[in-house]
Amino acid sequence: MRTNKKVGDPFYMSPLWRKVRAQIIERDHYTCQVCKGIFSGRDLQVDHLVPRKVAPNLAYAWTNLRTLCRSCHTRAPTSMGRGANYKERPFINSSGYPVGSDWDDN
């Protein structure tokens, strides 16, 4: 049985993270930025493009966050090598949004 390492992590329980998480999901229109599926908020996760361990200063930066469904988040690449054959993470444009997303103004 797999356990969620994030359960009990004070970062994910903080009021600031909960607020930013809701803002990112709203920004992305409740849409997974990989598979483009539309989900309810509880079925979505907010992914750090650059992991918190690597760049703690980007933990709340909108330019470092994207909305993913649970399935895509599970398969997303990480510094631990998970999802090695998965789609590359998007480049961020000068406006701070993933290139090719609905928010990309280029």
Window from 48-62, 65-79, 83-97 with minimum mean pLDDT: 83-97
- On whether residue 2 sits in a domain, the answer given is no
- On whether residue 1 sits in a domain, the answer given is no
φ/ψ region of 52 (left if φ > 0, alpha if ψ in -120 to 50, else beta) reads: alpha
- On whether residue 59 sits in a domain, the answer given is yes
Q: What is the CATH number of the domain that holds 49?
A: 3.40.1800
Q: How far is 92 from 19, CA to CA, in rounded Å?
A: 22
DSSP 9-44: -HHHHSHHHHHHHHHHHHHTTTB-TTT--B--GGGE
- On whether residue 87 sits in a domain, the answer given is yes
pLDDT digits (tens, 9 = 90+) for 10-48: 999 999 999 999 999 999 999 999 999 999 989 999 999
- On whether residue 88 sits in a domain, the answer given is yes
User: What tokens does 55 get?
Assistant: 């760049």
- On whether residue 3 sits in a domain, the answer given is no
Q: Which residues constitute the domain of residue 28?
A: 9-106
Amino acid 81: pLDDT: 46
What pTM did the predictor assign? 0.68
* Residue that has been written with the tokens 């908020």 in this structure: 41
- On whether residue 18 sits in a domain, the answer given is yes
- On whether residue 4 sits in a domain, the answer given is no
Q: Find out whether 66 and 35 touch, Cβ atoms under 8 Å.
A: no
What total number of domains does the chain contain? 1
